[in-house]
């Protein structure tokens, strides 16, 4: 996944499930397949990946293949066409031990990882883990209309703290991101992209919003 990155998390939104996820993926592919990646439900990875855009799982479990009814293995999402996975999203938090097992299992399968952190302190704690991106998302702004970039110190402190520990780690920010201006601000503050959901998924005109966002890169 290239930077600057616009990672769109489809969550479990009805507007981005099944064939609607495919339609959105086609739109993203036609607008900027180099810089947009989608995280979708495990059940949609196969059909969305056939569109030809980078697709991630929203989560993988640490379970090995075999006796693990209902769990989602890294092998399975890889085989379905995913190139990566989100982990530890605010809506799917993991205990540290389980998180490290998930990271190890995802990396055994060469999946790129976006590891979510709730603030700059947590981002710093995660800086040396074997992941590709740390995405800082303040939980109170998720799903709302106020962008994470209205907290500029949170963005710049996260970047500063992570890079001080690991200059190679890439930092994304998310929550409330909806416009080109939000992306421009995030990049100005040192982030290498954004993680967003409702701004695109719930938009009345997804194409218009995507064009505006890509304009900010």
Binding site for ligand G3P (CB under 6 A): 9, 89, 137, 142-143, 174-177, 195-199
Element (H, E) at 126: helix 120-126
Judging by DSSP bridges, how do beta strands 193-196 and 5-9 pair with one another?
Answer: parallel
Are 47 and 22 a contacting pair, CB within 8 Å? Answer: yes
Cβ 55 to ligand G3P, closest distance in Å?
Answer: 15
* CB nearer to ligand G3P: pick between 63 and 173: 173
Chain residue at closest Cβ approach to ligand G3P? 198
- Non-local (6+) Cβ contacts of 21 within 8 A are 10, 38, 40, 41, 44, 47, 48
Which residue's CB is nearer to ligand G3P, number 63 or number 135?
A: 135
- b/e sequence 158-182, b meaning 16+ C-beta within 10 Å: bbbbbeeebeebbbbbbbbbbbeeb
Angle made by CA atoms 132, 103, 76, in degrees to the nearest 5: 105
Q: Cβ 116 to ligand G3P, closest distance in Å?
A: 7
| Annotated catalytic residue 137 | yes
Catalytic residue among 35, 58, 89, 124: 89
Contact of 122 with 158, CB cutoff 8 Å: no
Residue 49 or 198: the one with the smaller Cβ distance to ligand G3P is 198
- Count of CA atoms in the C-beta half-sphere (13 A) of 196: 30
Considering beta carbons, is residue 199 or 216 the nearer one to ligand G3P?
Answer: 199
Q: How far is the CB of 58 from ligand G3P (least distance, A)?
A: 9
89 counts as catalytic = yes
Given the residues 15, 137, 153, 192, the one annotated as active site? 137
* Least spacing, CB of residue 135 vs ligand G3P, in Å: 7
- Nearest approach, Cβ of 197 to ligand G3P (angstroms)? 4
Q: State the CB neighbour count (10 A cutoff) for residue 147.
A: 24
Please, which residue, 120 or 137, has the CB nearer to ligand G3P?
A: 137
Q: From 51, 87, 33, 37, select the one nearest 195 (Cα to Cα).
A: 37
Give catalytic residues, as residue numbers: 89, 137
């Amino acid at each position: 996944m290239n930077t600057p990155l616009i990672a769109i998390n489809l969550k479990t939104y009805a507007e981005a499930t099944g064939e609607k996820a495919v339609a959105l993926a086609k739109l993203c592919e036609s607008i900027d397949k180099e810089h947009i990646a989608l995280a979708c439900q495990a059940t949609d990875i196969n059909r969305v990946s056939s569109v030809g855009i980078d697709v991630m799982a929203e989560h993988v479990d640490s379970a090995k293949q075999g006796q693990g009814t209902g769990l989602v293995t890294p092998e399975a999402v890889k085989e379905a066409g995913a190139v990566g996975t989100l982990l530890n999203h605010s809506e799917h938090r993991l205990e540290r031990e389980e998180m490290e097992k998930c990271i190890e299992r995802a990396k055994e399968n060469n999946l790129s990882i976006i590891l979510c952190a709730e603030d700059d302190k947590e981002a710093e704690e995660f800086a040396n883990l074997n992941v590709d991106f740390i995405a800082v998302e303040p939980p109170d702004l998720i799903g709302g209309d106020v962008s994470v970039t209205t907290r500029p110190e949170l963005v710049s402190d996260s970047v500063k703290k992570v890079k001080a520990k690991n200059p190679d780690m890439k930092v994304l920010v998310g929550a409330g991101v909806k416009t080109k201006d939000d992306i421009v601000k995030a990049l100005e503050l040192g982030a290498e992209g954004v993680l967003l959901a409702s701004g695109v998924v719930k938009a009345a005109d997804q194409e218009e919003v995507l064009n505006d966002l890509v304009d900010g890169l």
